[in-house]
Amino acid sequence: MADKLQFHEMGLDDRLLKALADLGWAQPTLIQERAIPLALEGKDLLARARTGSGKTAAYAVPVIQRILASKLNVREQAVRALILVPTKELGQQVQIMIRQLTAFCARDVRVADVSGKADLSTQRPVLMEKPDVVVGTPSRVLAHLKAQNLVLHSSLETLVIDEADLLFSFGFEADLKSLLCHLPKIYQSFLMSATFSEDVEALKELVLHNPVILKLQGSQLPDSSQLQQYSVQCEEEEKFLLIYTLLKLHLVQGKTLVFVGAVDRCYRLKLFLEQFSIPACVLNSELPVQSRCHIITQFNQGFYDYIIATDEQGLADPTAPAQTTDGKGKKKKKKKNAGKGRVKDKEYGVSRGVDFQNVANVINFDFPDSVESYIHRVGRTARADNLGSALTFVTHTQLALLKEVEDALTGDNAESAVKPFGFKMEEIEGFRYRCRDAMRSVTKQAVREARLKEIKQELLNSEKLKTYFNDNPRDLQLLRHDKDLHPAIIKPHLKNVPDYLIPPMLRGVANSFSGKRKRRRNDKPKPAGVIKTPFKKNLRGKNPLKTFRFTGGASKGVGRGASKGVGRGASKGAGRGAKAGKH
């Protein structure tokens, strides 16, 4: 077996090698080892590799190397590389990666990200300086080309299409075809994708010339040494019971992404977890990109350990009938005219194109509607060299879908990729009444008010509405002083877990977390020979029922004395009691 090709053996510029060393990349990943030498030879590439395998650097390194080589001969400043992405979030991620790789040659290689929704006039000055690399969505790049803020037909050397399998599904087909008319006749192209779909094949015919096809992995997810995948069969009520137990007893540790089937389900699960003082945030596809990025940043910085999200399904054409799940495994069709006149943000994707960092676990609370969706969700964990785990809840109606996923991931291997989760539901039966108690507070009205509360906060924080509120202060005052919304009643008694409810098999794990604070408070070093006695703390305020000491005779005398002494005299009762006690 040949030795693995290293970065310093690829003929890269010293400044680029220094940046790679600073990033801590000792050796290239598989996609980087195969793609970079071919790209440096001038080949067109169609590469498929799993999410998190290093695809961004696999095309960014040869792009930067080619620009540095060009500048040795041509001093004229021009846009030499165009990188097209399906989402704003991915555009920001690509820009950051290129800036890290050009840390020691930033003057020679400049990059501009125009994938945001800022006005064209705001981005025009950046493009007029002719950055070497332009990153953007097809619609935004096309808008700049039409406004003549960007000229590519004479200078472009490299075209990269990242996450190619999402471009058409996000509604960029027409924009991309129009954009290609503004490019020169000869340029090098890279198509990077997590899957080979019909859309990718269509793109291949449009932009590639005799490409080298790199299909690096039969399975698009890491193997079992890096990613552990489990499934557990449970019905609707058991889903809430199980996720409560897993999170509250700390059986799931680390940053966790929870995927559900609809936005309403996000808020329902969030309100349910709040009943037990388990904080989680919702990544709502209906909120503006700035808000979504803020939530992701908070998650990455550790403000939340749990983030609840949905797929990007149905964003391609809001007016077309699409199949979605209701969370219970049953598919439902949207009405023909549903969503007409309402344009969703087609540049948005939750499970793809978003830079979630250090995700330890993915929980599929609702089963994904396709194998590709499963791969995209689970691909958020076990990225690069990190370990990860995935747990999927499966109802009895979704067993056929699970079989499809297993067949797609297993391939020729005899061992199944998705293993049964060894968890006995009867062990947590004692928690069921608590879950039912919590669910009584999570009503449709509570979910509605939780969403309204978030929208209200979004209106108050909106930069676009500041001018309107300045002109209409009365509206701002009404919004601020609107009646308080109470999404759900929090029941304090659900916060703590009594020890008697914890299953015997789980007490060691649960107590290792819940008992830490108790040990700090109570287990102070004692002087030698002192025996810890109960109720010693309350000596000043003695409770007679707890401190009263008696013998058998005394209790008998007190009883007789009390019964007789009330009517005939305390002395007579006391005498009889004393006599009985002596006897």
Q: How far apart are CA 192 and CA 578, in angstroms?
A: 97
Question: Tell me, what's the pLDDT at 80?
Answer: 95
Question: CATH number for the domain including 474?
Answer: 3.40.50.300
Q: What is the mean pLDDT of residues 87-115?
A: 92
Domain housing 377? 227-317+324-330+346-504
Residue where a domain stops, chosen among 160, 182, 215: 215
E strands of 45-91, at which residues? 45-48, 81-84
For residue 440, being part of any structural domain is answered with: yes
pLDDT for 329 beyond 50: no
Give yes or no for a contact between 243 and 275, defined as CB atoms under 8 angstroms apart: no
- Percent of all residues in the chain with a pLDDT value above 90, rounded to a whole number: 34
Give yes or no for a contact between 479 and 498, defined as CB atoms under 8 angstroms apart: no
Question: Tell me, what's the pLDDT at 317?
Answer: 34
Residues 211 and 231 in one domain: no
> Which amino acid does the sequence have at 544?
P
For residue 574, being part of any structural domain is answered with: no
* Residue that wins the pLDDT comparison between 464 and 434: 434
pLDDT digit string (tens) for 516-554? 444 444 445 444 433 333 434 444 555 666 666 666 554
Give yes or no for a contact between 368 and 312, defined as CB atoms under 8 angstroms apart: no
Give yes or no for a contact between 296 and 283, defined as CB atoms under 8 angstroms apart: yes
Residues 284 and 184 in one domain: no
Q: How far apart are CA 442 and CA 490, in angstroms?
A: 10
pLDDT bucket at 140, cuts 50 / 70 / 90: very high
For residue 463, being part of any structural domain is answered with: yes
Q: For the chain, what is the domain count? A: 2
Q: Is 182 exposed, middle or buried (0-12, 13-18, 19+ CB in 10 A)?
A: middle
- Percent of all residues in the chain with a pLDDT value above 70, rounded to a whole number: 71
Reported pTM: 0.59
Residue where a domain stops, chosen among 504, 525, 552: 504
Q: What is the mean pLDDT of residues 150-161?
A: 93
Residues 57 and 149 in one domain: yes
Residues 113 and 16 in one domain: yes
Residues 250 and 181 in one domain: no
* Residue that wins the pLDDT comparison between 433 and 351: 433
For residue 357, being part of any structural domain is answered with: yes
Q: How far apart are CA 362 and CA 351, in angstroms?
A: 11
Give yes or no for a contact between 141 and 104, defined as CB atoms under 8 angstroms apart: no
For residue 117, being part of any structural domain is answered with: yes
Residues 304 and 192 in one domain: no
Which uninterrupted H or E stretch holds 233? strand 227-233
Q: What is the mean pLDDT of residues 95-102?
A: 95
Residues 115 and 235 in one domain: no
Residues 106 and 67 in one domain: yes
For residue 563, being part of any structural domain is answered with: no
Residues 155 and 302 in one domain: no
Residues 204 and 237 in one domain: no
Cα distances (Å, whole numbers) of residue 204 to 196, 197, 200, 320? 10, 11, 6, 26
* Residue that wins the pLDDT comparison between 19 and 577: 19
Residue where a domain stops, chosen among 177, 194, 215: 215
For residue 288, being part of any structural domain is answered with: yes
Residue 502 makes CB contacts below 8 A (sequence gap 6+) with: 249, 510, 511
pLDDT digit string (tens) for 248-298? 888 888 999 999 999 899 999 999 998 888 989 888 877 776 677 778 878
For residue 38, being part of any structural domain is answered with: yes
Residues 485 and 446 in one domain: yes
Residues 165 and 234 in one domain: no
